[in-house]
Amino acid sequence: MRELIDKAIFDLFDGLFLNIQDLVSVFLYDAQALCAISMLLYFGLEAYKMMAGDETLRIMPLLRPFALTLVIVFWPGFIDAVNLPLQLVNDQAKGMYGAQVDQVEDLHRERLALVDSVARKLSESSAEFERIESEASDASWYETMGIDLQPLFNKMKGYYLMLMAKLHFTAMMVVEWIVISIFQVCSYIIYFLQIIFAGILVILGPFSFALSVLPGFRDSYLTWIARYISVGLYSGLGYIVMSISFVLVKYGLMKEIDILKAVLGNEEMFIAYVSFPSGGISFYIVSLIVGGLAMLTIPIISTWIVHTTGVGNAIGTMAGGAAKAAGGILK
């Protein structure tokens, strides 16, 4: 039975994000060498200004390069310190998500069981249709015997409608499978992008701190910190957005479960449901699409908390294009 959300994948993503610092040694020594060169240039420039009489001796500006160098030397420990508040936010949001996802998965399984019951009933109706069709193939023999075939043909028309209903129902299941896949891709891609972006920032981050020694790149390390915190919030915001989205999904699931139970107990409602899908399943599909598109807005939402630019705008443009495409499909 297919799950709406695979919780094991999120556990894998969390573990990968926390172990990104295993990759920091790739360029760490190069960044330390660059930092040393930058410090020589910086101290040479400051010494020249003092010798020329343009500036007086100031101790605090001279300590700044040493502080940046210490960050590079103890880079893994610095990453752990930055991750600590991010992990606290992530754990709190994950707890809220865990309570919601268990309810959604229970409703999802109940709904799938009812859908399987509807599918079995359609299969039985199709088998009956084939039997009636074989009886109709001997129509000429029955006519020679003086048997009235009109009731038989009327019954065949009913089973023909049942066969068309099965085609409608199959198409509906295909659309639902596509929508669930889109929802899962939108949910997983944010966490995957977080690992990629955070990995790049961790691996190349020491260069930002090394260049910050020079006056022309003075704020590079602040930009790096803002972007890393912004990316680190993706997982926590993802759990929050999914928790909110699951409120809509739960409503759609409960509404459709009620409809499916009523459909299985009434033949006329059964034919109407499989022929023309009701509003309940439409709301369920729409809620999944809305939830998936909401996940793509997380890079922009994270910039509201820690102001930064770049990745958020790019993914925001992608989310806008996806929303337009989904709107065109629904039309």
Under 8 Å between Cβ of 258 and 111: no
Within-domain flag for 331: no
What letter represents residue 11's amino acid? D
Within-domain flag for 242: yes
Question: Pick from 322, 301, 323: which is nearest to 313 by CA?
Answer: 301
Report the C-alpha gap between 265 and 270 in whole angstroms: 8
Within-domain flag for 106: yes
Question: For the purposes of burial, counting CB atoms within 10 Å of the CB of 229, is it exposed (0-12), middle (13-18) or buried (19 or more)?
Answer: middle
Under 8 Å between Cβ of 194 and 295: no
Phi-psi region of 55 (alpha: psi -120 to 50; beta: other; left: phi over 0): beta
Percentage above 90 pLDDT, the chain: 0
Residues 6+ apart with CB under 8 A from 201: 224, 227, 228, 231
Report the C-alpha gap between 111 and 141 in whole angstroms: 47
Within-domain flag for 24: yes
Within-domain flag for 162: yes
Question: Pick from 295, 286, 289, 301: which is nearest to 242 by CA?
Answer: 295
Both structure tokens of 96: 């809220």
Q: Token pair 């409809």 is at which residue? A: 259
The per-residue pLDDT for range 119-140, each reduced to its tens digit, is 777 666 555 554 444 444 444 4
What letter represents residue 27's amino acid? F
Both structure tokens of 12: 């894998």
Give the total number of structural domains in the chain: 1
Within-domain flag for 143: no
Report the C-alpha gap between 131 and 197 in whole angstroms: 61
Does residue 184 register a pLDDT over 50?
Answer: yes
Does residue 52 register a pLDDT over 80?
Answer: no
pLDDT band at 305 (very low <50, low <70, confident <90, very high): confident
What letter represents residue 315's amino acid? I
- Please state which of the ranges 83-92, 198-207, 267-276 shows the lowest mean pLDDT: 267-276
More confident residue, 178 or 140: 178
What is the number of other CB atoms lying within 10 angstroms of the CB of residue 169? 18
Report the C-alpha gap between 300 and 203 in whole angstroms: 23
**Per-residue pLDDT averaged across 15-30, rounded?**
71
Within-domain flag for 174: yes
Residue 163 belongs to domain spanning:
7-135+150-322
Within-domain flag for 65: yes
Under 8 Å between Cβ of 235 and 191: yes
The per-residue pLDDT for range 221-276, each reduced to its tens digit, is 888 998 999 998 998 898 899 888 888 888 888 888 888 888 777 777 776 666 66
